[in-house]
Amino acid sequence: MWACDVIPWVSWWTIAVITGIYERLIQAIKNIVPNLKLFFTWKWKTFRKNIDGNFLLCLILWIWTSIVLFANIITSAMENYPILIWSFFVGLILISAVFLGKQVKWNWKTVLCLIIFWILAFFITAPTNTPLSITSTWRWTFICGAIAICAMILPGISGSFMLVLLWMYKTIMLAVKDFDIATLCIFWAWAVIWIVLFSNVLSWLFKHYKMITLASLTGFMLGSLNKIWPWKETLDVNLWTAKNILPNQYNGDHQIFWAIVCFLAWIGIVLLIEFLGKKFSKK
């Protein structure tokens, strides 16, 4: 999950989907607030059980471990081999969407939701989108925190990418670098509130409209492929805008052979994860 989130355009929750922990993770986050009273009344064992604490702790520890181990490797690979890395993630999201779509009972409603959210994600993640030019205020920081965190827990849509579109990515990164406590507190206070609220919404949707929700998430993932297409022509470096082009139109080594190898490699990895998941679930 962290390896994906290092890259501003890729959603780490995609990994949660293909490993089959997405619903469980949403439910665990949803249960935190209703059980806070247990934490503050020293009933930690019950609190841990009610929020699936062992699961969350394991996930958090391994995310932080991977930050230490892989952050520099991933960012360095992005700078030196962008086409190959994007090809990896195209394979990842495409095969993940296929697996997610296999869980859906398809009818006209689910097909309609798939198309609507596919189109929505396609236009949201268009590489030609110009970021909004808005003066940074504490109110705008609040709003950006809410939007980014809601996007972050949707597979296929990156919270970091939404910050880029809202012209807040550099502001938040500078706040982290400069240890700007005021900006970070405002941003994360609203983000934490909204991740709890939005996880409740998603949990309710999975409970009452599971097939429609899965179809919509599948559409989100397919639409997001628009942003991570490996071959691009840069339009504006400062605005991070570009347009998708065909490999033969790329100005430089298009690396088509190795791109296909990386694409197929990720599909193979996901198939292996799926196989191991079924094997361990039977045990």
Q: What is the pLDDT of residues 122-160, one digit of tens each?
A: 887 777 776 665 566 667 777 777 777 776 777 656 666
Q: Which residues contact 65 (CB under 8 A, 6 or more apart)?
A: none
Return the closest-CA partner of residue 31 out of 10, 46, 13. Answer: 46
> In the 8-state DSSP scheme, what is residue 132?
P
Residue 256: Cβ-neighbour burial (10 angstroms; 0-12, 13-18, 19+): middle
**What is the pLDDT averaged over residues 247-266?**
87
Regarding predicted confidence, which is higher, 179 or 86? 86
Is 183:175 a contact under the CB 8 Å cutoff? yes
Residue 22 in contact with residue 155, Cβ under 8 Å?
Answer: yes
The pLDDT of residue 5:
59
Residue (of 245, 248, 244) closest to 224 by Cα position: 244
Rounded distance, CA 164 to CA 124, Å? 12
Answer positive or negative: Cα dihedral of 23, 207, 199, 48: negative
Q: What per-residue confidence (pLDDT) applies to 70?
A: 66
Q: What is the mean pLDDT of residues 87-116?
A: 86
Residue 116 has what pLDDT?
93
Please say if the pLDDT value at position 112 is more than 90: yes
Q: Please calculate the CA angle 206-143-197 and round it to the nearest 5 degrees.
A: 25
pLDDT band with cut points at 50, 70 and 90 for residue 114 = very high
The pTM (predicted TM-score) of the whole model is: 0.72
pLDDT at 225: 83
Nearest CA-CA partner of 91 in 269, 255, 239 = 269
Residue-wise pLDDT tens digits, 238-254:
656 778 888 888 887 88
Q: What is the mean pLDDT of residues 211-220?
A: 87
Instruction: Supply 132's token pair.
Output: 């909004």
pLDDT at residue 205, as a whole number: 84
The DSSP result for 35-67, as a single string, is GHHHHHTT-HHHHHHHTTHHHHHHHHHHHHHHH
| Residue 176: strand, helix, or coil | helix
For 174-202, what is each residue's pLDDT tens digit? 776 677 777 777 777 777 777 778 778 88
**Average pLDDT, rounded, for the chain:** 78
- Residues making up the chain, counted from first to last: 283
